[in-house]
Amino acid sequence: MKETGERVAAPQSRIVAIYPGSFDPITNGHLDMIERGSRLADRLIVAILENRRKQTLFSIQERVEMLTEVVRPYPNVEIGWFHGLLVDYVKERGANFILRGIRAISDYEYELQIAHMNRRLSPGVETVFLMAGEAYSFISSQLVKEVASLGGDVSGLVPPLVQDRLRRLLGGTGEGLSAASR
């Protein structure tokens, strides 16, 4: 309190959310979640899992590049990456909650397990779920890679720059996509 008796405003608490995933590659379903999530939080951190034990189609650098480009229109969204436990990263970034999307019942059981495990590991960490937009409920990174590798059209399923990268990498020949990278 100042000597004049003037009230000093309490610092505004800002809501920080973490949206984690493999993003190998980012799809329009992810982008829909990012757009909607960015309206729920003051800051949304899209956190890419760098899983050294799992082979991915795109390297961590490539995924960071693609995500950085596609989130450019959202000023309160930033890109981060992590390895190890998600809850540790959540604490490190001072986030208030984890954001995840659910497309169908099949996602629900997996997401429930992860959310319970994270809450057990770190009781203060909440997970907030958004239902995937109906136009995106069938899209997964895995299916996109399979379709692209077999020469199918993935426009409308991924951002154009991801489509270009998939074309360059896979060429629609069916080659270049090993079972391990699915």
Q: Which of 15, 112, 117, 131 binds ligand PNS (CB under 6 A)?
A: 117
Q: Judged by CB under 6 A, does residue 56 bind ligand PNS?
A: no
2 counts as catalytic: no
* Beta-sheet pairing, 43-49 with 126-131: unpaired
Cα–Cα distance measured from residue 20 to residue 53, given in angstroms and rounded to the nearest whole number? 17
Residues in contact with ligand PNS, counted by CB under 6 A, come to a total of 9
Q: Judged by CB under 6 A, does residue 25 bind ligand PNS?
A: no
- The active-site residue out of 38, 43, 141, 165 is 141
Minimum Å gap between C-beta 1 and ligand PNS is 43
Residues numbered 131 to 150 that lie near ligand PNS (CB under 6 A) are none
103 counts as catalytic: yes
Minimum Å gap between C-beta 84 and ligand PNS is 7
How many other C-beta atoms lie within 10 A of the C-beta of residue 120? 10
Q: Judged by CB under 6 A, does residue 85 bind ligand PNS?
A: yes
Residue range at the interface with ligand PNS (CB under 6 A); choices 18-26, 66-74, 150-158, 170-178? 18-26
Minimum Å gap between C-beta 128 and ligand PNS is 13
Cα–Cα distance measured from residue 154 to residue 170, given in angstroms and rounded to the nearest whole number? 12
Cα–Cα distance measured from residue 17 to residue 77, given in angstroms and rounded to the nearest whole number? 10
Q: Which residues pair with 16 in a beta bridge?
A: 43
Q: Judged by CB under 6 A, does residue 114 bind ligand PNS?
A: yes
Q: Judged by CB under 6 A, does residue 163 bind ligand PNS?
A: no
Give the side-chain half-sphere CA count within 13 A for 8: 5
Q: What is the DSSP string of 35-97?
A: HHHHHH-SEEEEEEE--TTS--SS-HHHHHHHHHHHTTT-TTEEEEEE-S-HHHHHHHTT-SE
- The active-site residue out of 54, 91, 116, 120 is 54
Catalytic amino acids? Answer: 30, 54, 103, 141
Interface residues toward ligand PNS, by CB under 6 A: 20-22, 49, 85-86, 114, 117-118
